[in-house]
């Protein structure tokens, strides 16, 4: 029978378990870079996680031994300890996941404006354009973000490519509302290319398309169908890979809420990757220059020899478009081939 000795002792032990479990979660969030388990959404220095984690663990034990009543007389039974620890752990998990979700950073349009992008004012096309100073003519790149992701994801990449001398258009799917459907999605890259061709400072013979994730699959498909596009870059495309379930890894750089949305989106993306079937369009792109940047874990076999493939930089994280070194690789390759 459970009687928990006294409500005060039971509550004290529950609080010990809750706070010490939060402490352990903070240590692991800092050590394993699990932003979705960090009380402040992984923002700020990692050593804060160690300090807060250790403080919570030692502080809760000290408080328990100082404040809890009658610790050295017959106390809680084993089964009661197990129940209270489980409840404390569950409470700690809920508190941590909720705090991380509230604190998680959200990319906003302000981020795009901070990178000096200008909103595109064209019918049936949402996005942001970044133009270098001067009258040109400049080569131009149409950036296609992961389908279903906002253009803000590519703000840093677009600004960096602009600084390297490219007029850069970052297409925004989310301007149209929900997750785009096939085949409607096929119209987006041609719209972007048409927009770039109308701009006076753009060199019409030097236009490229750079796609990220499923946007990479769409890039292969669109460039295969349009001979005006001179080069194509696909960054970590799906290429018909099967959907996966990364589990805890999703809490790296994501809150729980964002992870739930990612998973839902990923299923739809995997299904669209099959419909886009980017691999089938490689032969129509060649002999134009084509670069595929892929994850080290994503083996690319059976590609034609003319396709240039490179492994993504080692230190990249899932928030790929944010990584400036990816932009550098793309910019240098385009300077060479465009």
Partner 1 sequence: MEGDWVLFQLINGWAGRWPLLDGIMRPLVNDYMLTTAMSLGLVALWFACPVAPHTGTVRHREGKGQAERERNQRAVLMAILSLLAANLLLKLCNIIYFRPRPFHAHPVNLLFYHPTDSSLPSNIATMGFALAVSVWIGNRKAGLGFILAALLLGFARVFCGVHYPGDVLAGALLGGGVAYALSRQGRWLDLLLDFVLRVARAMYLA
Q: Would you tell me which residues interact with partner 1 (CB under 8 A)?
A: 13, 16-17, 20-21, 24-25, 27-28, 31-32, 34, 36-37, 57, 61, 64-65, 71-76, 78, 81-82, 85, 89, 93, 213, 236, 238, 241, 244-252, 256, 259-260, 262, 266, 294-298, 312, 314-316, 318, 320
CA gap 83, 70 in Å, rounded? 20
Strand partners, 141: 168, 208
Q: How far is the CB of 113 from partner 1 (least distance, A)?
A: 28
Whose Cβ is closer to partner 1: residue 241's or residue 284's?
Answer: 241
Distance between the two ends of the chain, CA-based, in angstroms? 77
CA gap 204, 219 in Å, rounded? 18
Q: How far is the CB of 196 from partner 1 (least distance, A)?
A: 28
Whose Cβ is closer to partner 1: residue 185's or residue 293's?
Answer: 293
Q: How far is the CB of 287 from partner 1 (least distance, A)?
A: 29
Whose Cβ is closer to partner 1: residue 19's or residue 130's?
Answer: 19
Q: How far is the CB of 75 from partner 1 (least distance, A)?
A: 6
SS (H, E, C) 104-159: CCCCCHHHHHHCCCEECCECCECEEEECCCCCCCEEEEEEECCCCCCHHHHHHHHH
CA gap 36, 330 in Å, rounded? 30
Whose Cβ is closer to partner 1: residue 129's or residue 273's?
Answer: 273
Whose Cβ is closer to partner 1: residue 93's or residue 164's?
Answer: 93
Closest CA to 218 of 173, 188, 175, 174: 188
Q: How far is the CB of 237 from partner 1 (least distance, A)?
A: 10
């Amino acid at each position: 029978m459970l009687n928990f000795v006294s409500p005060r002792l039971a509550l004290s032990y529950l609080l010990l378990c809750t706070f010490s479990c939060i402490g352990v979660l903070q240590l692991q969030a800092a050590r394993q870079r699990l932003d979705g388990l960090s009380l402040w959404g992984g923002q700020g220095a990692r050593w804060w996680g160690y300090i807060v984690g250790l403080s919570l663990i030692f502080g809760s034990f000290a408080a328990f031994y100082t404040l809890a009543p009658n610790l050295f007389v017959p106390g809680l039974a084993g089964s009661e300890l197990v129940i209270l620890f489980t409840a404390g752990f569950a409470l700690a998990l809920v508190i941590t996941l909720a705090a991380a979700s509230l604190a998680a950073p959200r990319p906003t349009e302000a981020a795009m404006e901070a990178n000096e992008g200008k909103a595109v004012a064209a019918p049936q096309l949402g996005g942001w354009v970044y133009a270098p100073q001067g009258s040109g003519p400049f080569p131009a790149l149409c950036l296609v973000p992961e389908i279903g992701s906002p253009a803000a994801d590519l703000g840093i990449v677009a600004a960096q490519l602009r600084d390297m001398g490219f007029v850069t258009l970052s297409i925004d799917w989310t301007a149209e509302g929900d997750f785009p459907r096939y085949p409607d999605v096929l119209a987006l890259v041609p719209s972007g290319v048409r927009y770039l061709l109308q701009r006076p400072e753009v060199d019409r013979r030097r236009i490229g398309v750079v796609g990220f994730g499923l946007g990479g699959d769409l890039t292969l498909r669109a460039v295969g169908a349009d001979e005006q596009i001179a080069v194509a870059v696909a960054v970590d495309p799906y290429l018909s890979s099967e959907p996966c379930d990364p589990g805890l890894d999703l809490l790296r750089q994501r809150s729980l809420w964002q992870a739930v949305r990612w998973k839902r989106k990923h299923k739809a993306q995997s299904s669209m990757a099959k419909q886009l079937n980017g691999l089938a369009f490689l032969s129509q792109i060649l002999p134009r220059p084509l670069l595929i940047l892929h994850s080290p874990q994503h083996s690319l076999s059976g590609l034609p020899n003319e396709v240039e493939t490179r492994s993504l930089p080692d230190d990249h994280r899932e928030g790929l478009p944010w990584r400036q070194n990816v932009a550098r690789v793309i910019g240098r390759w385009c300077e060479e081939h465009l």
